[in-house]
Amino acid sequence: MKTDSFKLKQGLIVDIDAVAALIKRTQKEDGEIPWAPGGKTDPWDHVEAAMGLTIGGYYRESQKAFSWLKENQHADGSWHAAYRDGKPEDLTHDANMSSYIAVGLFHYFLITGDKAFLEYMWETVKRGIEFALSLQTPEGEIYWAKSPEGVVDPIALLTGSSSIYMSLKCALGISRLMGIESVRWRESLDRLGNAIRNKPHLFNMTKSRYSMDWFYPVLAGAITGQAAKQRMDKYWKKFIVKDHGVLCVSDQPWVTMAETSELCLALSAMGQDDLAGIVFGWIQERKFEDNTYWCGYTHPEITVWPEEKMTWTNAVVLMAADALYQLTPGAKLFSHRFWEPAT
């Protein structure tokens, strides 16, 4: 561990040691990071947890997590959607889950400067991105998955496509570091961004009840500037429980630490650090006795649910703290200003 605990501007404490150590303890010897001990592993949350390890200074463990993905990648660039105890549980091949490795590895490079590890992982990133782009339509949206039999499900999800947008940005960043021109990836990014901004009808499974559909286009940088501010303002009251956090689903009384932290990342990305800091402060008492964070709780009863200590939830708390308080060079990962010259 190389990062000490730090004090927030609100006078609250985030115990970086405790949070990062939870992820390390949960990681298996081969590098796999399940949600919680005995729980499932999905590639997206596995990457998120690895990013928490990187922020915490556990670079060797983070490398092991990425190497686990390299060792388990299918020939077409995808992974299964879920594993348990190292065995496939959900055999779906998900585009978002297969491309998110690019975000984790670019984040790793920003913090460590370890280009050699990027080179080692490059083909894995490339294949993951190519799998996602194989599901992109001429209109720009990306279908979410293939079945185990290889049948494409012609449904595009706004949150998933926004996450892929971020993955593509990071993949392009990695390709530039490799000295590789990726014109086709750049064109795919432009088409996807245009679809997210201007063609809402293409995302044909509405999940407007979910807060991620609200802020993920902003978090990923597909929507920026005044349009981002208008989007955040428009749905603020729908998803925000003042002094508590963000509802996972607008019509259910469940506040989650992950969605609240991701909203903080989105606000910080826009340059609204003061507001992000206020929202981040709301969740600082939502901890277990060991200073790791709850996954979520019901409101107004304050019943903790689920009771497991989730690796990916705690990882994204670290990511929000980093963005707000510049703990590492990875703090700028989601910043719209950081990406302006490239996107």
Query: What pLDDT score does 2 carry?
Result: 45
Nearest Cα neighbor of 267 from 228, 226, 212, 310 is 228
Whether 189 and 168 have beta carbons less than 8 Å apart is answered as yes
Tens of pLDDT along 47-69? 999 999 999 999 999 999 999 99
Residue 19 has pLDDT above 50, yes or no: yes
CA geometry: angle at 176 spanning 173 and 178, to 5°? 115
Q: What rounded mean pLDDT belongs to the chain?
A: 95
Q: Which two tokens stand for residue 25?
A: 């303890």
- Domain membership of residue 232 (yes or no) is yes
Q: Other C-beta atoms within 10 Å of 292: how many?
A: 20
Residue 4 has pLDDT above 70, yes or no: no
Section 270-294 average pLDDT: 97
Q: 239 exposed, middle or buried (CB, 10 Å; 0-12, 13-18, 19+)?
A: buried
Query: What pLDDT score does 137 carry?
Result: 98
* CA atoms 205, 190, 312, 297: torsion sign: negative
- Domain membership of residue 322 (yes or no) is yes
Is residue 9 very low, low, confident or very high in pLDDT (cuts 50, 70, 90)? Answer: very low
CA geometry: angle at 242 spanning 159 and 274, to 5°? 75
Tens of pLDDT along 72-127? 999 999 999 999 998 999 999 999 999 999 999 999 999 999 999 999 999 999 99
- Domain membership of residue 136 (yes or no) is yes
Query: What pLDDT score does 8 carry?
Result: 52
Whether 193 and 142 have beta carbons less than 8 Å apart is answered as no
Q: pLDDT above 90 covers what percent of the chain?
A: 92
- Domain membership of residue 141 (yes or no) is yes
Is residue 36 very low, low, confident or very high in pLDDT (cuts 50, 70, 90)? Answer: very high
Three-state SS letters, the chain: CCCCCEECCCCCEECHHHHHHHHHHHCCCCCCCCCCCCCCECHHHHHHHHHHHHHCCCHHHHHHHHHHHHHHCCCCCCCEEEEECCEEEEEEEEHHHHHCHHHHHHHHHHHHCCHHHHHHHHHHHHHHHHHHHCCECCCCCEEEEECCCCCEEEEECHHHHHHHHHHHHHHHHHHHHCCCCCHHHHHHHHHHHHHHHHCHHHCCCCCCCEHHHHHHHHHCCCCCHHHHHHHHHHHHHHHEECCCEEECECCCCEEEHHHHHHHHHHHHHHCCHHHHHHHHHHCCCCECCCCCECCEEECCCCCECCCCCCHHHHHHHHHHHHHHHCCCHHHHCCCHHHHCCCC
d(CA 81, CA 159): 16
CATH of the domain at 168: 1.50.10.10
Section 33-38 average pLDDT: 97
Whether 249 and 209 have beta carbons less than 8 Å apart is answered as yes
- Domain membership of residue 1 (yes or no) is no
Residue 1 has pLDDT above 50, yes or no: no
Section 200-229 average pLDDT: 94
Q: pLDDT above 70 covers what percent of the chain?
A: 95
Number of alpha carbons in the 13 Å side-chain half-sphere of residue 220? 27
Q: Which residues contact 92 (CB under 8 A, 6 or more apart)?
A: 80, 81, 145, 146, 147, 148
- Domain membership of residue 189 (yes or no) is yes
The whole domain housing 175 covers 6-339
Section 321-328 average pLDDT: 95
Number of alpha carbons in the 13 Å side-chain half-sphere of residue 325? 23
Cis peptide upstream of residue 300 (ω within 30 degrees of 0)? yes
Query: What pLDDT score does 3 carry?
Result: 45
Pairing relationship of beta strands 240-241 and 245-247 according to DSSP bridges? antiparallel
| Number of domains observed in the structure of the chain | 1
Backbone angles phi, psi at 30, to 5 degrees: -85, 0
Query: What pLDDT score does 255 carry?
Result: 98
Tens of pLDDT along 223-271? 999 999 999 999 999 999 999 999 999 999 999 999 999 999 999 999 9
- Domain membership of residue 213 (yes or no) is yes
Residue 181 has pLDDT above 60, yes or no: yes
Query: What pLDDT score does 309 carry?
Result: 98
